[in-house]
Amino acid sequence: MIFTWKIIDVFAEQSAITQVKYSVIATDGEKSVSTEGYWTFLDKEHQIYEQTSEKDLISWIKNESVIDDVCIIEANLEKQLNATQDIVKKPWVKPTFTVKI
């Protein structure tokens, strides 16, 4: 399973990051599920600097969202992905031509 994180917005007060809007896509083969949300940092220890990267913010969210050694955001996406059913092709829709390289 592959998790693809993206930071959409960052909110700060006096250079301390207070909240981050994020999106995460969980992919397993051809199946995928996604979520968007806001993560609020309760402490003011995360400062925004010139060298602060998207990877840093993702790491901070993942570290703060761990319960019992599991990132709850990724765990919930994994549950959703495992609960999805295979899509049944509709017999009235003609197949489309796709090129796979």
| Residue 87, pLDDT score | 65
Query: Structure pTM?
Result: 0.78
pLDDT tens digits, one per residue of 13-65: 988 999 999 999 999 988 899 999 999 998 878 888 888 899 999 999 999 99
According to DSSP, the residues that pair with 38 across neighbouring strands are: 21
Q: What is the dihedral of CA 69, 19, 5, 31, to 10 degrees?
A: 80
